[in-house]
Amino acid sequence: MAPIRIALVGIGKIARDQHIPALAASEDFELVAAVSRHTGPEGIPLFRTIDDMLAAGIKVDAVSLCTPPVGRYALARSAIAAGLHVMLEKPPAASVTEAEDLANAARRRGVSLYTTWHTRAAPAIEPARAWVAEHNVRDVVITWREDVKKWHPGQEWIWEPGGLGVFDPGINALSAITRIMPDALHLTDAELFFPANRAAPIAAHLTMSDANGTPIRAEFDWREEGQDRWDIDIVADGGRLALSKGGARLAIGDKVFVDGGAIDAEYPGLYARFAELVRTGQSDVDLAPFRLVADAFMLGRHTTIEPFIE
């Protein structure tokens, strides 16, 4: 089968760390162009805009958008209008309405749209979902703590409105728990901690629940200077499940069932799924994690704390 000709848009940290290696190893895709304002991968034609790429006559079937969320809507709309299949980094857009509009536009144009959630492709997520389906969950605690200086050095967009602040990693935890739990989650309470000099939160505490009233608490914090913690602990009748390393490790009681690689295992899975969607004419758009973030900004108390200086 001929590979899907794809262009990568927004050549920054995640494009270089994950997308380029995953595409290089994939038999489903051929990376034919890059679109970015500054630099692109060696040996691939580079364009400043999607329209410039199309005007140059490059034959392309799909784009994968790795720009920051603000501005991604316009890029995705022009790709869809040109009849290209579109894969979106998380979060899928700058607002829920933008993401819904992209889903409608893709449906009308007959192209595939894939809103990726890379943590859902971590090796312990599906086994955790299967275990939860067989157990009555009593309590869930999510701890997502990392050092913003280590993971987002110099990324100013992440502190601007629409950059999401600590919800940029926190949404990964929400993408995992909304996949694992069988029923929809809703937010009941939140507190967001904004540094006095920033427009986005550096920490957040969320309380959520499901239709059964299961308590689900989450703590997101970007001020961790020790070991990163990306953990979800689930207590159920008859057992305790611990997900750690962002979904790469799964223990039930004292027994470890999965202890796989970290994020490196996720992107090949995302591209395999995108290829399947393109080849079967489908889309995969799940906005549940994004809605919870929007609800946290809407319902949460906003508390101002000391300035953050990088």
Instruction: Report if residue 302 touches ligand NAP, rule: CB under 6 A.
Output: no
Instruction: Report if residue 150 touches ligand NAP, rule: CB under 6 A.
Output: no
90 is catalytic: yes
Instruction: Report if residue 265 touches ligand NAP, rule: CB under 6 A.
Output: no
Q: Figure out which of the listed residues 10, 201, 247, 289 binds ligand NAP, where binding follows CB under 6 A.
A: 10
Q: Figure out which of the listed residues 3, 5, 12, 107 binds ligand NAP, where binding follows CB under 6 A.
A: 12
Q: Figure out which of the listed residues 29, 61, 68, 106 binds ligand NAP, where binding follows CB under 6 A.
A: 68
Instruction: Report if residue 245 touches ligand NAP, rule: CB under 6 A.
Output: no
User: With contact defined as beta carbons under 8 Å apart, do 45 and 33 qualify?
Assistant: yes
Site string for ligand NAP, 156-175 (x = CB under 6 A): -x----------x-------
Rounded to a whole number of angstroms, the minimum distance from the CB of residue 26 to ligand NAP is: 18
Rounded to a whole number of angstroms, the minimum distance from the CB of residue 55 to ligand NAP is: 18
- Residues in region 81-110 near ligand NAP by CB under 6 A: 89-90
Residues 59-77 as b/e (b if ≥16 CB within 10 A, e otherwise) read: ebbbbbbbbbbbebbebbb
* The pair of three-digit structure tokens given for residue 58, joined into one six-digit string: 């490059």
Q: Which is nearer to ligand NAP, 31 or 241 (CB)?
A: 31
Q: Figure out which of the listed residues 69, 162, 246, 300 binds ligand NAP, where binding follows CB under 6 A.
A: 69
Q: Figure out which of the listed residues 8, 11, 62, 79 binds ligand NAP, where binding follows CB under 6 A.
A: 11
Give the binding range for ligand NAP (CB under 6 A) out of 34-42, 76-84, 213-221, 287-295.
Answer: 34-42
**Annotated active-site residue in 13, 59, 90, 150:** 90
d(CA 245, CA 229): 7
Instruction: Report if residue 42 touches ligand NAP, rule: CB under 6 A.
Output: no
Q: Figure out which of the listed residues 1, 27, 38, 280 binds ligand NAP, where binding follows CB under 6 A.
A: 38
Q: Which of 263, 232, 275, 250 is nearest to 62 (CA)?
A: 275
Footprint of ligand NAP (CB under 6 A): 10-15, 36-38, 66-69, 71, 89-90, 118, 155, 157, 168
Residues acting as catalytic residues:
90
